[in-house]
Amino acid sequence: MSGAEAGPSGADPAGTDPAGVRPAEADPRRSQASPTAADVQRLLAIEEIRQLAFRYAHAFASRDRPLMLSLWARTDPPARMPTIDRHRIQADLERWFSELGLCLLHVTNHLIDVEGPDHARGEVYCTGEIEVGSQWVDQVILYHDRYVREDGRWLFASREHRLFYGQARVHHPLRQPPARWPRGQVGSGDLPGSEQRGDRAAVDRPGGAGDVA
């Protein structure tokens, strides 16, 4: 390389050093401002709020009463259906668990707006696979959520449960012969709520709780 090409210091005109690395100040990624403490707190709030939706779904699938009750802030006055709050959970959770069979909620999109240090709102899109009486029902759900930070923890203040649709499947997926997993892949599985279901007779129970999950 000639002196005219490399310059007197040995660097090329583009500003790279002999190893081909540009100065740090030329890296556009390093020109961005570092996250502030407020940015970090906002990200932590969003992640903690996101976990609320996951834990709500897990509480229904596992019928975990203490977990479900732990997700709700103290509110007053009580909400009216289709809005769910701590009062509604305390009053109706046992009935929901008794009227519903296996309840699988799959959280998809979760939009979160942090409105201040202790308040946020969100929208959660969710698909549900829910055993209601003798039926297996597919639902697409939208929750309009309000969140509050209470004693340092983000919790649900309320969830307004809206329904795009619910549709009963023609064939109940748990009323198949056992798959005998892992030897087979088609049939009722080995997880709680699905084992031995393929061999039992259908039991008709009244519905009425299928749209509350």
Q: Are residues 106 and 193 in the same domain?
A: no
Q: How confident is the model at residue 24 (pLDDT cuts 50, 70, 90)?
A: very low
Q: Over the stretch 164-203, which tens digit does the pLDDT of each residue have?
A: 999 999 999 999 999 988 899 999 888 866 543 433 333 3
pLDDT surpasses 60 at 211: no
Return the pLDDT at 192. Answer: 63
Q: Are residues 109 and 189 in the same domain?
A: no
Q: Are residues 117 and 199 in the same domain?
A: no
Return the pLDDT at 169. Answer: 96
Q: Are residues 107 and 61 in the same domain?
A: yes
Going by their DSSP bridges, the two strands 153-168 and 135-150 should be labelled as antiparallel
Q: Is 38 left (phi over 0), alpha (psi -120 to 50) or beta?
A: alpha
**Mean pLDDT for all residues in the chain:** 83
Buried b (16+ CB within 10 A) or exposed e, 11-37: eeeeeeeeeeeeeeeeeeeeeeeeeee
Q: Are residues 98 and 130 in the same domain?
A: yes
Domain with 145, as residue range(s), is 37-168
Q: What is the mean pLDDT of residues 26-39?
A: 71
- Specify the number of domains making up the chain: 2
pLDDT surpasses 80 at 1: no
Q: How many CB atoms lie within 10 A of CB 147?
A: 25
Q: Are residues 191 and 114 in the same domain?
A: no
Q: Are residues 93 and 44 in the same domain?
A: yes
Q: Are residues 161 and 177 in the same domain?
A: no
Q: Are residues 72 and 177 in the same domain?
A: no
Structural domain includes residue 13: no
Structural domain includes residue 32: no
Q: Are residues 158 and 176 in the same domain?
A: no
Q: Which one is predicted more confidently, 162 or 213?
A: 162
Record the tokens describing residue 208, joined without a space: 């009425």
Q: Are residues 147 and 51 in the same domain?
A: yes
Q: Are residues 56 and 105 in the same domain?
A: yes
Q: Over the stretch 72-127, which tens digit does the pLDDT of each residue have?
A: 999 888 888 899 999 999 999 999 999 999 999 999 999 999 999 999 999 999 99
Going by their DSSP bridges, the two strands 100-114 and 135-150 should be labelled as unpaired
